[in-house]
Amino acid sequence: MEKIRGFEIAKGFEDKNINLPVRKTSRSAGYDIEAAEDTIIPAFKPGMKPTLIKTGLKAYMEPDEMLCLYNRSSNPGKKGLILANSVGIVDSDYYGNIDNDGHIMFAFINVKGEDVEIKKGDCIGQAIFQKFLIVDNDNAQGERVGGFGSTNK
């Protein structure tokens, strides 16, 4: 079978009992993503960086596709968790990169007054594959040289 798009276990997580994402209903757009390990997301203080939640996953897709990472609708109200970047974008060339093999992580900020504990296996967000378009005079020729946050390097 030809690989078109899907999820795999990222290097370093092969023996961590990572569940591949699934859609819960036939009309769900998003694949539910779980945390790969227990993580504490500290209460926000000015100047602190977001907490990266490891998923143990990587995603492969067609060159004209991206994977969008969205927060769970219940996270802000119940846990005080918001995505630091609103929507995470995973480019097709992130898969298998030399820095981290394309490991997908969610960047959370905790707006509650107390720390929030995420347990391994907790659903932390959802991922949706999408096509994208380019403009007529697009001339992008750069190549990815790293992992998380490396697009401009």
Average pLDDT over residues 12-21: 98
Confidence of residue 150 (pLDDT cuts 50, 70, 90): low
Q: What are the chain's domains?
A: 6-131 (2.70.40.10)
Could you give the percent of the chain with pLDDT greater than 70?
94
Q: Considering the entire predicted model, what is its pTM?
A: 0.91
> How far, in Å, CA of 122 to CA of 37, rounded?
9
> How far, in Å, CA of 69 to CA of 88, rounded?
5
Confidence of residue 49 (pLDDT cuts 50, 70, 90): very high
Q: What pLDDT does residue 107 have?
A: 97
58-75 pLDDT, tens per residue? 999 999 999 999 999 999
